[in-house]
Amino acid sequence: MVAETFLPSRVYVRDVAARDGLQNEPVTLSTEAKVELLLALAKAGISRLEVTSFVQPKVVPQLADAERLLEALPPLSGVQLAVLVPNRKGLERALPLQERFHQVTVFLSASESHNQRNLGRRIDESLKEATAVIERGRASGLRAEGVISTSFGCPYEGYVPPQRVIELAEALASAGASEISLADTVGMANPLQVQRLFSAVADRLGEGVELTAHFHNTRGQGLANVLAALQVGVASFESSLGEVGGCPVVEGATGNIATEDLVQLLQELGITTGVDLSALLEAGRRLEGLLGRPLTGHTLRAGPIRWDQPALAASGRAE
């Protein structure tokens, strides 16, 4: 017999395809196409969406329409909308539209080399900027998430001390972030490492801060890491429809875990997500058409698992 472990009964899924995914695509979608994508994801039951970034348009031209996108996106009842804000200048662009979204997301790396290449500054400088954005965003009535990139390893430095990640998480939470995301930016994490780091961060921050897992599937370990995170109580995940995405400053880095693969796994484990997998797959097929290429999500390619005995699917195992 395989020992059963505690798993959350409900998991929240944030799809980041419209931001983290599209910023790495050679094709720049129109604002109308992005709205179509976000509406399809919301229709499928995705209750958290990262919709765009207020980064400099010259740096990420794929997301240069941040203001137009928020203005064009109709109200989505029951859907939490997040925008990525790299600095105070980005926040000043975003705040006039704050009635159209709910959360600001800030980010920095746990390794100096990646932070320099990604943000062009030291970690301590990025933390200062992130703190200012969180505090101003919270004062304006917005929720705040802090993302720590390269939490599980750096492509330039290799090992990242867990204590550094823990200290950054604590600093972001102290600034007012109600959610901390530990990001496996280039797919270096393994399941045991995931359990140890999330457990350590949870012990330090306590129950008042939501922990989110952000895994990339660069080396094919994304879903194994999802299960590891679930087993230590993580109930919030970020993923990208069709596995679109990557890391613009790391050659060979592939996309986030596919949202449809994540939802398929959670469904097989009997965990509630509120997502209609069939509708999600339809959104994935539409995104393929918009991008003009096949996407790499496994469930999008193979289709959902179909059981002759539904009760076995709910339990995730055969007797």
Burial code (b: 16+ CB inside 10 Å, e: under 16) for 140-161 equals eebbbbbbbbbbbbbbeeeebe
Q: What is the mean pLDDT of residues 211-238?
A: 96
Give the closest residue to 10 by CA, choosing from 230, 307, 299, 304. 230
Task: Compare 251 and 276 and report the one with higher pLDDT.
Answer: 276
Per-residue pLDDT tens digits for 140-188 = 999 999 999 999 999 999 999 999 999 999 999 999 999 999 999 989 9
Per-residue pLDDT tens digits for 289-308 = 999 999 999 999 999 998 87
Global pTM? 0.93
Per-residue pLDDT tens digits for 106-133 = 999 999 999 999 899 999 999 999 999 9
For each of the domains in the chain, give its residue range(s) and CATH number, in order of start: 12-315 (3.20.20.70)
Q: What is the mean pLDDT of residues 76-88?
A: 96
Find the catalytic residue in 84, 144, 226, 247: 247
Annotation says 154 is catalytic: no
